[in-house]
Amino acid sequence: MKGSRLLPVAALALALALSGAGTAAALTLQSVGSFDQPTYVTSDPGNANVLFVVERKGTIERVVNGTAAKFADLSTEVQCEGSCQGERGLLSIALSPDFDQSGRLYVDYANDVDGVIHVEELVAAGPGHESAPAASLKPLATIPHPTENNHNGGQLQIGPDGDLYVSTGDGGGGNDQFHHAQDPLSPLGKILRLDPDAPGPATVWSLGLRNPYRFSFDSLGGGMVIADVGQKAREEIDFAPSPFPGVVGGQNANYGWNCREGLIAGPADDPQCAGAPADAFVEPVFDYPHSPDPDLGGAGRCSIIGGYVVRDAALGALGGHYVYADYCGGGLRSLQLPATANAPASEDCSLRLSAVNPVSFGEDAAHRIYVVEEGGRVSRLTGLPPANCPTPRTRPPLATPSAGSGAAPTATVPTFVGIKALRRRVERGKRALLTVFVSPCDGRRGSVVELLRDGRPNGSRYLNRACTARFAPIVRGGVSFAAATRELRTYLPGESRDLRIRLAPPQRPRR
């Protein structure tokens, strides 16, 4: 594949293990491979070792055990001749939680001829879902973006409620010249929501955004974190915490553009800006100026690249912190998000790592974090962060067995357990398709995870090689499910948040 050089997963794991023998390895970017203008990376929801790398001109590469093969070619649809104009192209994908069964995934691209933003369903084929023919594309949303070739947004994410969320820019140009961001009837400058199981018009979830090129959901807490690219002065991070498990926050939130740019006044030439009350807009939880990175120096920062809340326990103190970067500055940083949307973030600090023109982060099914560079490199974040970033927290000492006692090692490593449903509404008497995932994965394959129905045991499964397990309980009424693991060697027991399944109306026969 275009001269890609990929390091097999097994070899990578061995190299990391050897390099860390006796000491904790420092945080680093471990190369996964080199690709043609990559824009995004994610994984099979049921197998974290199967990666999908999105390339801007319209191809998607599938990487298994260090070998890359073309998964899909949408170049005819994307229509980039030579190179894509401005910020157009294939920008991201999202795989359905039931991908291993249905082969469904979703793509977001801005056509390079007419600028139209397309959100479409793609269905993988073959015995192992190893390819996805373009002929299977099915439109879900079509958003006109005719004049300027920048500010296309481009992020797709499956929310904790199972719906598909899409980011769009304000139409491009400068100063929100088309006045889309503050217009509740325009789909531009927004986060939109789609139900992929019942296709219909995309609805506006939140507004007042300039170019939310990258946003993500915290895989544990469910909060939505939006990195909105600024104009000439400030870059911002907006945060909408989840009010309840399985519920997405931020509905109808207005993040202020173009009345606001970060925490300062914006161009303010929209009628909604004049005389707006102080509480009309949701302020960002963090913003920064277009100055060089305060810790690493270098080029001035110009465009925020949003990441993920880290839930990979192997990254130590970085767990629970949000990572982000800047396209021009290149430095990787982390911060602590607040508990509520109306409070500031804290602990912004440098991870002492740089990437060359980073364009995206990615997260796999085991919650490992990846960085995508415009020049082609895709890397995984490994090792432990600097001693002073994030700020160390004092933890009580953990008891250890006395020497020669013969006792098993005391469990010290926290366990993250997540549970997702293919559909949050199920007809009475039908089965709910549930996927449970456990992290960290090392040493846990083949161990038991238990399903809880309304807090009571409801069967168990063995974790597969990706530390996931699937359940298909019959639903006879509204019910809550959770998943739990037992203490195992060095791992503490863990339990997921409750996942509520509601009854759906029965399907009427077609006439």
pLDDT tens profile 17-52: 333 334 569 999 999 999 999 999 999 999 999 999
Predicted TM-score (pTM) of the model is 0.77
Whether residue 491 is predicted with pLDDT greater than 90 in this model: the reply is no
Q: Summarize pLDDT for 370-380 with one digit per residue, the tens.
A: 999 999 999 99
The domains spanning 9-382 and 416-504 adopt the same CATH topology: no
Per-residue confidence band for 424, with pLDDT thresholds at 50, 70 and 90: confident
Percent of the chain residues past pLDDT 90, beyond the cut: 68
- Quick: pLDDT tens for 214-238: 999 999 889 999 999 999 999 999 9
Structure tokens at 5: 């050089």
What's residue 396's pLDDT? Answer: 36
Of 91, 117, 115, 182, give the one whose Cα is nearest residue 372.
Answer: 91
User: What is the reported pLDDT for 275?
Assistant: 83
Q: Where are the domains of the chain?
A: 9-382, 416-504
Q: What is the rounded average pLDDT of the residues 159-166?
A: 93
Residues 452, 482 contacting (CB under 8 angstroms): yes
Average pLDDT over residues 154-175: 95
Q: What is the pLDDT of residue 409?
A: 58
2-11, 21-30, 325-334: least confidently modelled range: 2-11
Question: How far lies 97's CA from each of 41, 100, 239, 298, 420, in Å?
Answer: 16, 8, 24, 40, 7
pLDDT of residue 269: 80
Report yes or no: 358 and 379 within 8 Å, Cβ to Cβ: no
Closest CA to 215 of 256, 181, 164, 262: 164
Considering Cα of 309, then 314, then 318, then 319, what sign does the dihedral take? Answer: positive
Q: What are phi and psi of 100, to 5 degrees?
A: -65, -25
Per-residue pLDDT at 15 exceeds 80? no
Judging by beta carbons within 10 Å of its beta carbon (0-12, 13-18, 19+), is residue 134 exposed, middle or buried? middle
What is the average per-residue pLDDT within 344-369? 97
Return the CATH class of domain 9-382: mainly beta
Q: What is the mean pLDDT of the chain?
A: 89
Fold of 416-504: Immunoglobulin-like (2.60.40)
Q: In whole angstroms, how large is the CA radius of gyration of the chain?
A: 23
Q: Does residue 101 sit in helix, strand or coil?
A: helix
Q: Collapsing DSSP states into helix, strand and coil, what is residue 318?
A: helix
Q: What six digits make up the tokens of 341? A: 């949307």
Average pLDDT of the segment spanning 412-439 = 87
